[in-house]
Amino acid sequence: MSFPVVPLESIPTHGLTVQVQDWGRAACGEGLGGEAGAVSGHLVVTRQGRHILVSGTLEGSATVVCDRCAEPLRFTVAGEVDCVYIPRDEVAAQPVDEEPPEEAREEGEYDGVELDLVHVVREFFALERPARILCGDLDPAADAACLERFRTRAALAPAPPDPRFSVLKGVKPTR
Ligand SMILES: [Zn+2]
């Protein structure tokens, strides 16, 4: 098999443990939206009929930019993976109004033949990434400098005309 692509038929009954190494780096960066620094962890892959269960832990970091001041930041995410991958044809056949199963596992899709763990890594980091990352989230002490950089950047843009002037123009001085 072309690692880290795991064919359904190749998964042993007791499962398969895969160490996440350099093959997951680019996917970590894509998920976090920056250039990946490092990724580590392990994934345990087991099968349940045609469903592939993936659990384990992942930790990865990437250089992303602050959403306020655009300064590059080293952002790290770590967490538990607990996901079930369901063949696409089965997902398509599911009635839309079907009650979701009790377990709060994330659901993903795969082609029913093989699961690409690069995809699993990318999806994990994309889901874990907060919608907004600011300098102050990583280091509260950096917040003031972040705001300062933001103001400097905003000052470089042409200032909009001050609306107070247009009001004053129509006012004649009274004695
Ligand atoms: Zn910032």
> From the CA of 139, how far away is ligand 1's center (Å)?
10
Note whether residue 57 is domain-resident: yes
Query: Which of 123, 118, 115, 120 shows the shortest CA–CA distance to 11?
Result: 115
**CB under 8 Å to 80, separation ≥6 — which residues?**
55, 56, 57
Note whether residue 49 is domain-resident: yes
> From the CA of 37, how far away is ligand 1's center (Å)?
19
Q: Quick check: 102 pLDDT over 70? A: no
Q: Quick check: 94 pLDDT over 90? A: no
For residue 34, how many other CB atoms are within 10 A of its CB?
Answer: 20
Q: Which domain holds residue 85?
A: 5-134
> From the CA of 121, how far away is ligand 1's center (Å)?
27
**107, 111, 115, 117 alpha-carbon torsion, rounded to 10°:** -70
**Mean pLDDT within 36-52:** 96
> From the CA of 88, how far away is ligand 1's center (Å)?
41
Note whether residue 147 is domain-resident: no
> From the CA of 25, how far away is ligand 1's center (Å)?
25
Report residue 4: phi and psi, to 5°.
Answer: -95, 45
Note whether residue 50 is domain-resident: yes
Which residues are placed with Cβ below 5 angstroms of ligand 1, an ion?
66, 68-69, 71, 135, 146
Note whether residue 172 is domain-resident: no
What does the alpha-carbon distance between residue 58 and residue 122 come to, in Å, rounded to a whole number?
11
Question: Quick one: pLDDT band at residue 34, thresholds 50, 70, 90?
Answer: very high
Structurally, the chain folds into a number of domains equal to: 1
Whole-number pLDDT of residue 96: 72
DSSP symbols for 56-105: EEEEEEEEEE-TTT--EEEEEEEEEEEEEEEEHHHHHHS-TTPPPPSS--
Report residue 27: phi and psi, to 5°.
Answer: -65, -35
Instruction: Name the 3-class secondary structure at 4.
Output: coil
Structure token pair of residue 41: 């962890």
Q: Note whether 80 and 55 are within 8 A (CB).
A: yes
Note whether residue 55 is domain-resident: yes
Average per-residue pLDDT for the chain? 89
**Mean pLDDT within 51-80:** 96
Note whether residue 38 is domain-resident: yes
What does the alpha-carbon distance between residue 51 and residue 54 come to, in Å, rounded to a whole number?
10
Stronger pLDDT, 92 or 121, i.e. the higher one = 121
Note whether residue 126 is domain-resident: yes
> From the CA of 62, how far away is ligand 1's center (Å)?
16
> From the CA of 28, how far away is ligand 1's center (Å)?
22
